[in-house]
Chain A
Amino acid sequence: MSVQPIRESASQPAKPAARLTQLELEKIAPTRDDRLFLVLSIFIGVLSGLLVVSFRIAIEWIKILTLGSAPHAGQFRLILVPAFAGLLVAALVQRFFPAAQGSGINQTKAALYIYNGYISFKTVIGKFITSALAIGCGHSLGPEDPSLQIGAGIASMVARKLNLSRQRLRLFAPIGAAAGLAAAFNTPISAILFVIEEVIGQWSAAVLGSIVLSAISSVVVARWFWGPEPMFRIPPIELRDPRELIAYAVLGVAGGFAALAFSKSLGYLRPRLRALPRWTYYCQSCVAGLLVGLIGFFGFAQVMGPGYEALDQAMHGQFAWKLLLALALLKILATTLSFSSGTPGGMFAPTVFIGGMLGASVGSFEKLFFPHLTGTVGAYALVGMGVLFAGFLRAPLTSVFMVIEVSGNYSIIVPVILANMIAYLMSRALQPTPIFEVLTHQDGLALPSMEEAREESELHLEDALRPVDVPVVKGNQAIGEVALILSASHASAVLVSLWDGSWYAVSMDELTTASAASTRDTPIERTLPAERSPVLFPDMPLENALRYFPRWPVLPVLNRASRGKLEGVITQDDVLRCYQEH
């Protein structure tokens, strides 16, 4: 996941001489960007879908050609292939595709927040080749976040070719990312949520429609090839006995600890390997491949590659609980080795694998020792996937929807929410910094923290509100009388209540000017311009008030239920004080 400020991405794409400037484009075709945005979202979805399908086929072909059609313990090629592949991949990454290193999520975030949405085509090619080689040859990594980056790269390239505005260009990376992830996981909703939760960090109406369009398009393409089934067959799932929730809670706790172990091991090993001399970068992947191969050679070939086949087998009760637990622990070790060595590939599949194995282990244990409980091993495996997703990747919303989307069964929602929340809260308590931030910091970048962004509490007008301490007059009161009231109160303004329920905050200067232009008996409302004080309510964001202060010295805050009724007032000082205090 190393995001390096590399040459190609640091520079802006060169503008061909024949091309128009953004200002010119704005003038001659002001709605062009908006319209192209939606059309291109579909194209990006389709292209990403096709590339992701090809990417998966490439991984499978490489696996069959190098590790054989049925890799199993005791085959020497299990040691040799990942080691040699590591050597080749490291050379390719170091010499030709430095931006292909690691996972794609932070790189996509970097493109969004640092490089104006720019991801080079070379990065896409590099990511495709090196990730397919590494994963196909047995490194314990997954194809999802490379797919995400491939999608983002394609989106960036297409947007650049069409000379879209910088603002649009920046938004295309997450659109492509959602398409790539959706096609890779065959779960459009989860992909959309993940991109919103982890890449963009907020629900933005400007981009949501395009993200949905591209994700749906890519999934349609992927399903055209692979069919509607998820990566693994889902056994029937049903929660019959509420007592079983205790077992799911135990799974949540186990998942919380597993997420902690996984995060800690990555947080420990990766910076140490990065700190080694640069020449070692050429052989770190090789050594990692050798060690992962040794795990496979000595009886646990399931941990090699993404591991979806083994996960499928685990979901269908083909392993005993002890083996499942061993596989979960060894996968943590293998993925830590592969990922920390800088081998291109992602952590989605390993996370799902570890969670699935852990869940299946708990489920099998339960079946063995508490046979009266009815939960299936598959249900536990599925919940376990969500648990690690919530605990390790710290994407709680995505984790819930992913399980529901993969299983197509809403009856599992209660155990999923329970177990995921336990794992998530445990993970937060034990490892305050999310793994993506840990990796970002290791790479020397300062990308926005999505978890913090989610948890930032917005200030509202009610937080700065104070009681009405300025004079309040009726619109039909004489201007002379109002002037007297205002001068007697020493307030900065007087609030005038008008016949239609609206308000006008009159400052002393304004009142003086109005008095000079009319008689003392003139009702004040006749001297006021057509403009009215803005309508504000206590629940509105505090920042909404700021733009009115140059014009209005004091702002009335109204009650939503009773038209024209004052809740209080705020001034610029109140707003600033509120910001300072929070």
Chain B
Amino acid sequence: MFELRSTLTPEERQQRQKLILRDTLALSSLLLIVIVLFFVTLALFHSFTIHRQRLAKRWLARGEYALHAGQPLAAIDALRSALAYAPDDETLQIELAEALAADGRTQEAVAYFNTLLESRPGSGMVNLQLARLAVKQGEEANSLDHYEEALDGTWEGDGYTRRREVRLELAQYLIDRKHYDRARNELLIAAGNAPDDINVQLQIAGLLESAQDQANALHLYRRALQHRPERLAALEGAGRTAYALNRFLQAKKYLERALNHPEFEKQPTEAQAHFRDMLADADHILLLFPGPELSLRARADRILSNRKIAQERLAECLNTKTAVLPELQALADQWQHLPDKLSLLQLEQDPQLEQTIMQLVYQTERVTSQQCGAPMGDDALLLKIAEAPEAVEQL
């Protein structure tokens, strides 16, 4: 470390050697101190790190508990505390933002999620949360954008399932906003990609019903009914949608099976009564409907009976009016053009006349319901048949 200098006296050389020795000792001591201090610090740091991890877990558990218990304020405090000890935990961050949103601190939650989105651009989960917040704030365009970004975004691990869930949530939102066409499109995409899982099928079918797409809903319910054992929800759904589509024969079939299902009796009384009424109506409709499968006599008999019901309904309606409306007058005229008295035989021999009478029956029920209010009893059932007579016995 030191240069040799010939000008030094022997005493100075000795001093220099002592100095070298002393400096070496000092540096060695310093090194020793550094080593000891390093291990002391390491031990402290290790215990501190473990303690932090424990605290993070403890506060996370408390936060989640509070969130599920509907105490968002407590959840926010707990999750913030957890984040202080595990700042990079993504789940924790999202849960905190959810807690903020649940506590009504939407602005804070949006700001937080926006920041999360900046650090994880394209995150499906964050976009979904932002979409939900936008829904809360009534920002339709913003929420739809975020739902779309969530669908196109990245998901960890279970992306397939999460995207379907997002799509269904989006569909529900569209239904709530009465954008049925767009909701239907989303649901059909979801149905097309859905696995052969009865729960998923039932969920999508239910949403399709809400989106007023009874036909596709019925299709899905029928697919769900291929699973064994039959699920009551599938039978009820199929019966309900078939009934809504005026496929009363089909509805009767499903509703009968539903009513005989062992779980039917566990349903709320109101729901039971509703399905029973539906079945009774379907039965009655099938008794009123002059279907092509009937014998000529039975068919003529039903047509005459329906004619009587419709004429009485028209007469009643005309009696309630002080001035005869042109639509009702036109109906009355059409009835007058038909023979006043008809025998069963006449009808059996004249299918054209049958057709004309039934068309007039349907028209009478439709016009009277518009002019004189909703019909009751057989008139109501005939009106249902009038909506789609060709569907009544469709299977």
* Chain A interface residues toward B at CB < 8 A: 20, 24-25, 27-32, 35-36, 39, 43, 46-47, 50-51, 53-54, 57, 60-61, 64, 69-70, 72, 158, 161-162, 225, 233, 235-236, 309, 312-313, 315-320, 323, 364, 367-368, 376-378
- Chain A residues with Cβ below 8 Å from B88 are 233
Are A69 and B55 in contact, with the CB atoms below 8 A? yes
CB proximity to A under 8 Å, residues B93-119: 93, 96, 100, 105, 107-108, 111-116, 118-119
Taking A317-B113, A323-B108 as given, write out 11 further A-B residue pairs in contact, using a Cβ cutoff of 8 Å, ordered by the A residue number: A20-B19, A27-B8, A27-B12, A28-B2, A57-B48, A69-B81, A70-B77, A236-B118, A316-B112, A317-B111, A364-B111
Are B115 and A28 in contact, with the CB atoms below 8 A? no
Q: How far is the CA of A225 from the CA of B46 in the complex (A)?
A: 9
Q: How far is the CA of A25 from the CA of B108 in the complex (A)?
A: 67
Q: Closest A residue to B58 by CB, please name it.
A: A69
Taking A31-B3, A54-B40, A318-B112 as contacts, is the C-beta distance between A312 and B15 under 8 angstroms?
A: no
Q: Closest A residue to B121 by CB, please name it.
A: A236
The verdict on B298 contacting chain A, using a C-beta distance below 8 Å, is: no
Residue in contact with A316 in the complex, picked from B3, B23, B40, B116, CB distance below 8 Å: B116
The verdict on B195 contacting chain A, using a C-beta distance below 8 Å, is: no
Are B37 and A235 in contact, with the CB atoms below 8 A? no
- Chain B residues with Cβ below 8 Å from A161 are 26
Are B107 and A32 in contact, with the CB atoms below 8 A? no
Taking A57-B45, A312-B87, A319-B108 as contacts, is the C-beta distance between A72 and B77 under 8 angstroms?
A: yes
Residue in contact with B34 in the complex, picked from A27, A46, A377, CB distance below 8 Å: A46
Are B114 and A317 in contact, with the CB atoms below 8 A? yes
Min Cβ gap B316→A in Å is: 62
Taking A25-B19, A32-B1 as contacts, is the C-beta distance between A233 and B26 under 8 angstroms?
A: no
Taking A316-B115, A316-B116 as contacts, is the C-beta distance between A50 and B108 under 8 angstroms?
A: no
- Chain A residues with Cβ below 8 Å from B108 are 318-320, 323
Residue in contact with B19 in the complex, picked from A32, A312, A317, CB distance below 8 Å: A32
- Chain A residues with Cβ below 8 Å from B107 are 320, 368
Are A43 and B114 in contact, with the CB atoms below 8 A? no
Q: How far is the CA of A20 from the CA of B85 in the complex (A)?
A: 53
Are B48 and A313 in contact, with the CB atoms below 8 A? no
Q: Closest B residue to A226 by CB, please name it.
A: B45
Residue in contact with A313 in the complex, picked from B37, B80, B113, CB distance below 8 Å: B80
Are A233 and B34 in contact, with the CB atoms below 8 A? no
The verdict on B308 contacting chain A, using a C-beta distance below 8 Å, is: no
Are B44 and A57 in contact, with the CB atoms below 8 A? yes
- Chain B residues with Cβ below 8 Å from A25 are 19
Are A28 and B27 in contact, with the CB atoms below 8 A? no
Q: Closest A residue to B108 by CB, please name it.
A: A320
18 A-B pairs with CB atoms under 8 Å apart are A28-B2, A29-B19, A51-B37, A54-B44, A57-B41, A57-B44, A69-B55, A69-B59, A69-B81, A161-B26, A233-B88, A313-B83, A316-B119, A317-B115, A318-B96, A318-B100, A318-B108, A377-B114
Are A60 and B119 in contact, with the CB atoms below 8 A? no
Taking A54-B40, A54-B44, A70-B80 as contacts, is the C-beta distance between A367 and B16 under 8 angstroms?
A: no
* Chain B interface residues toward A at CB < 8 A: 1-3, 5, 8, 12-13, 15-16, 19, 23, 26-27, 30-31, 33-34, 37-38, 40-42, 44-45, 48, 51, 55, 58-59, 77-78, 80-81, 83-85, 87-88, 93, 96, 100, 105, 107-108, 111-116, 118-119
Min Cβ gap A141→B in Å is: 19
Min Cβ gap A374→B in Å is: 9
Are A236 and B80 in contact, with the CB atoms below 8 A? no
- Chain B residues with Cβ below 8 Å from A46 are 34
Are B48 and A60 in contact, with the CB atoms below 8 A? yes
Q: How far is the CA of A461 from the CA of B87 in the complex (A)?
A: 59
Taking A318-B111, A320-B108 as contacts, is the C-beta distance between A50 and B77 under 8 angstroms?
A: no
Are B15 and A225 in contact, with the CB atoms below 8 A? no
Q: How far is the CA of A83 from the CA of B245 in the complex (A)?
A: 76
Residue in contact with B16 in the complex, picked from A28, A35, A158, CB distance below 8 Å: A28
- Chain A residues with Cβ below 8 Å from B112 are 316-318
- Chain B residues with Cβ below 8 Å from A320 are 105, 107-108, 111
Are A29 and B2 in contact, with the CB atoms below 8 A? yes
Min Cβ gap B56→A in Å is: 9
Residue in contact with A35 in the complex, picked from B1, B5, B37, B116, CB distance below 8 Å: B1
- Chain B residues with Cβ below 8 Å from A316 are 93, 112, 115-116, 119
Are B34 and A47 in contact, with the CB atoms below 8 A? yes
Q: Closest A residue to B17 by CB, please name it.
A: A28
- Chain A residues with Cβ below 8 Å from B100 are 318
Q: How far is the CA of A459 from the CA of B385 in the complex (A)?
A: 107
- Chain A residues with Cβ below 8 Å from B13 are 28
- Chain A residues with Cβ below 8 Å from B80 are 70, 313, 318
Residue in contact with A64 in the complex, picked from B3, B8, B23, B51, CB distance below 8 Å: B51
- Chain A residues with Cβ below 8 Å from B8 are 27-28
Are A309 and B45 in contact, with the CB atoms below 8 A? no
Are B45 and A225 in contact, with the CB atoms below 8 A? yes
Are A20 and B1 in contact, with the CB atoms below 8 A? no
Taking A313-B83, A316-B115 as contacts, is the C-beta distance between A50 and B48 under 8 angstroms?
A: no
- Chain B residues with Cβ below 8 Å from A28 are 2, 5, 8, 12-13, 15-16, 19
Min Cβ gap A440→B in Å is: 33
Residue in contact with A378 in the complex, picked from B55, B81, B118, CB distance below 8 Å: B118
Q: How far is the CA of A50 from the CA of B38 in the complex (A)?
A: 6
3 nearest interchain CB pairs?
A70-B81, A317-B115, A317-B111
Q: How far is the CA of A416 from the CA of B220 in the complex (A)?
A: 60
Residue in contact with B41 in the complex, picked from A36, A53, A323, A376, CB distance below 8 Å: A53
- Chain B residues with Cβ below 8 Å from A31 are 2-3
Q: How far is the CA of A29 from the CA of B113 in the complex (A)?
A: 65
Are B55 and A64 in contact, with the CB atoms below 8 A? yes
Residue in contact with B118 in the complex, picked from A27, A312, A376, CB distance below 8 Å: A376
Taking A60-B48, A316-B93, A377-B111 as contacts, is the C-beta distance between A233 and B41 under 8 angstroms?
A: no
Taking A35-B1, A36-B23, A72-B77 as contacts, is the C-beta distance between A225 and B34 under 8 angstroms?
A: no
Are A20 and B45 in contact, with the CB atoms below 8 A? no
- Chain B residues with Cβ below 8 Å from A35 are 1
Are A53 and B19 in contact, with the CB atoms below 8 A? no
Q: Closest B residue to A70 by CB, please name it.
A: B81
- Chain A residues with Cβ below 8 Å from B78 are 70
- Chain A residues with Cβ below 8 Å from B55 are 64, 69
Are A376 and B115 in contact, with the CB atoms below 8 A? yes
Q: Closest A residue to B111 by CB, please name it.
A: A317
Q: Closest A residue to B12 by CB, please name it.
A: A28
Max count, chain A CB within 10 A of own CB: residue among B87, B111, B116: B111
Are A377 and B115 in contact, with the CB atoms below 8 A? yes
Min Cβ gap A45→B in Å is: 10
Taking A43-B34, A316-B116 as contacts, is the C-beta distance between A24 and B81 under 8 angstroms?
A: no
Q: Closest B residue to A319 by CB, please name it.
A: B108
Min Cβ gap B291→A in Å is: 62
Min Cβ gap B3→A in Å is: 6
- Chain B residues with Cβ below 8 Å from A313 are 80, 83
Q: How far is the CA of A27 from the CA of B108 in the complex (A)?
A: 70
Q: How far is the CA of A364 from the CA of B15 in the complex (A)?
A: 69
Q: Closest A residue to B62 by CB, please name it.
A: A70
Min Cβ gap A368→B in Å is: 7
Q: How far is the CA of A54 from the CA of B51 in the complex (A)?
A: 15
- Chain B residues with Cβ below 8 Å from A54 are 37, 40-41, 44
Q: Closest A residue to B100 by CB, please name it.
A: A318
Min Cβ gap B348→A in Å is: 75
- Chain A residues with Cβ below 8 Å from B119 are 235-236, 316
Q: Closest B residue to A60 by CB, please name it.
A: B48
- Chain A residues with Cβ below 8 Å from B2 are 28-29, 31-32
Min Cβ gap B145→A in Å is: 12
Q: How far is the CA of A411 from the CA of B23 in the complex (A)?
A: 48
Residue in contact with A70 in the complex, picked from B31, B38, B84, CB distance below 8 Å: B84
Are A29 and B16 in contact, with the CB atoms below 8 A? yes
Min Cβ gap B281→A in Å is: 54
